[in-house]
Amino acid sequence: MANGVFMFKRIVLFGLTNILVMVTLTTIVSVFGLWPTLTANGFDYPSLALFCLIWGMGGSVISLLMSRASAKWSMGVELVSPDSPGEGGLLARAVHDLCQRAGLRSMPQVGIYNSPEVNAFATGPTRSRSLVAVSSGLLRSMNRTELEGVLAHEIAHIKNGDMVTLTLLQGVINAFTLFLSRIIAVVLTSQSRDNESRQGSAATGFVTVLLEMVLGFLGYLVVCWFSRYREFRADSGSTTISGTPLPMIQALQALQARVHDESAEHSGRLAAFKISGGGRSLMRLFSTHPPLEERIAKLLNASTPKGTSWSK
């Protein structure tokens, strides 16, 4: 029953968020008269560019601004503080200590959500309005050293401003996808359109949608590449914050052992939470996280003196 309620909340929140984004952007575009008009001579390109910028960036920015609140609501995150009893207080104190080591002036909110999955995430629109949340499954399965590595990794995401950077990248890609798909569609279907000025032909609309899918797909590959890059950077940041690569290496090794030891079904759920990364095939292009073995090897190569090795 709990899982059903959890999924229902996420579906409802996803729907409400998209409705809010659509209503907001449609209102802005309508009030300022920014709907681009297709004529026999093509688009009014300045208005088209502004339209695509608003629609492309607007959705990403609104989602970012809502990210902390929506994550807490959809995942049932229970906030904890350094004064909280038990593991909640220990978790909050650990996060605050690592944030001080990282030089963050504002402490993020800290929370725990009930899930058997081994997962943690950081979200929020700014460093001062961020959230670090950890699953109950991760708290049960990792020791303090491994937990420190995970928390330092998430704090590194906050310090690096990764949520904002990824949002801007996605917004720019969305804007270019909307803009280029319409221009290319007009060029490709110019012979099929009537000479009289009108909103456009069915052929132009069909080609536009097709191009949006193709360009959006290519843009998604760029977003995935950047996401993998920021994971490597957060791993390195975890080493800097902890003062040693050992916590992060042990955390990744613990995840690696869990993926190998658990059933294929459970491993699939770990991959779905983007915690284990992709394999060695072309499907890696669609993964937002690098393979665990590559992350471990990179930390070892960067931080281990010659002739020594880390082990759990």
Q: Where do the domains of the chain lie?
A: 2-301
Segment 228-243 shows an average pLDDT of 96
Query: Which of 8-22, 62-76, 212-226 has the lowest average pLDDT?
Result: 8-22
- Highest mean pLDDT (candidates 9-18, 128-137, 297-306): 128-137
Q: Which residues are catalytic?
A: 154
- pLDDT for residue 269 is more than 50: no
Rounded mean pLDDT, 157-172: 93
Average pLDDT of the chain is 81
- pLDDT of amino acid 33: 64
What confidence score (pLDDT) does residue 27 get? 74
Return the structure tokens found at 133: 């949340």
Q: Would you state the pLDDT for residue 267?
A: 43
In the block, which residue shows the tokens 């998604």?
Answer: 220
Higher pLDDT among residues 245 and 5, named by residue: 245
- In percent, the amount of the chain with pLDDT more than 70 equals 74
> What's the pLDDT score for residue 47?
81
CB 114 within 8 Å of CB 133: no
- Residue 79 confidence (pLDDT) above 50: yes
- pLDDT bucket at 34, cuts 50 / 70 / 90: low
What is the model's pLDDT at position 285?
82
> Which of 2-11, 211-220, 235-244 bottoms out in mean pLDDT, i.e. has the lowest?
2-11
114-119, Cβ contacts within 8 angstroms, sequence gap of 24 or more: 114/2, 114/76, 115/6, 115/75, 117/269, 117/270, 117/273, 118/142, 118/255, 118/258, 118/270, 118/275, 119/273, 119/275
Model pLDDT, residue 113: 95
Q: What is the pLDDT of residue 228?
A: 94
Indicate if the pLDDT at residue 196 is higher than 60: no
pLDDT of residue 303: 64
